[in-house]
Structure 1
């Protein structure tokens, strides 16, 4: 077959092969050069490179502008969230919720118990916004600088409960059934990698959360509206109830929350936010297939 080709045809095939599979320095030289073969075949790699660099530079400038505008949007969102907290008396209601949940846990409620509230993010549609400080079992605020943090709805336990709507209370970050997937005496690094995979965290996030063995998360709903998420945790194992009684405690806390004024105020706040429902969507699925 090659005999039937002109020499320039053979050369063209060789050049294409080099571009696809040749050494990096040869591919780089050819792809950035300009040349023409008899028969009218032309290639101008330099123009392609210049065009790509131009488009890349423009994209970078667009992203920089978008980042500045997002910073301004979040600055306004933090101010608005502060006004909402004050108007609806959310700190007092969250404090009461912490006291109530701690009382339902009973005498075994640990000293390091802490509780916070998340709401749908005010800027992005796929994030949760930490709306309150952490409160201890006596309803006292015990943290600074956490209000206004945002997390993906794919982040850890809060993301899983938010997406599924299924409340979860657990007493071990790594259960016995999961522990068998690691070595008998796992190193800290092995545990951190396992937690990162298990909960969809980065390694630095896994290092932070690995000390919190007990946790609970309940999505707050009213009339089919997702209005928030209540989260609490402790560093002690099985801090909230005996193993095997998680579902009973989940139901008890969920029933109590439905009777608390916190949910009523969050519903009112959600209704106020409804006209502002055009939150930014980073990824919108356009196909019907699932990877």
Structure 2
């Protein structure tokens, strides 16, 4: 992309974010209600939708062969039964929004921004634990990171910026898991993102500059159990053990992006639309119909 094209793109994204951010911390406009922000309890969860890259078979085969069974054993050993039984379609998130409107997936498909190319050479590497906000208690996750270099990573980051601008106006308020005790423990930058685009950890354009806080990753454990020092130490050891099992990570390609429904903590419950990064074709996953 030449400098003029990039400048025009940033200008367009800035305009998009002005629309996405046209809400106050306590009020809302165009169906966006931020009144849950600042309350001590989590906002009630109705429906979360998102855009994700489903993990391809070459990745899930490695994880199933080397990680899944010992992970399940460790979760059960630690008494994390709910976590061991949590359903999830393995994925890497682009962006999530909360909306009770059942037509949101169709609206997301209509608002889908310019797609990235096929993401070749994506490297999933480094298992680690993370909290929604340090000291909030929950939720917390065990993640597998993505190496933050290379053309594919840059394309993922740019696409996150475009997708956040496109989908934030479709939210009905903040993502429930970033409200309540999580919001209370966030820094100012995270709180501003929750207020303006409904979720933290995304890329935005502010004052004509792209601000990147997106951290693409795959999540293996979703937990609402309290992240006590004992649980943290145990799960950090699990992560360290897994890093010895896969010291070089897993290299793959993402050839599709999907619109999905998610639970409160971010685990994917169902895939709704699958969009090819090769030719832009769209499939309704439930019935296999090609929509375009």
Task: Say yes or no: TM over 0.5.
Answer: no
TM-score, scaled to structure 1: 0.28
TM-score, scaled to structure 2: 0.28
Instruction: Specify the structure having the higher radius of gyration (Cα).
Output: 1
Pick 1 or 2: higher relative contact order, CA cutoff 8 A, min separation 6. 2
Greater strand share, 1 or 2?
2
Greater helix share, 1 or 2?
1
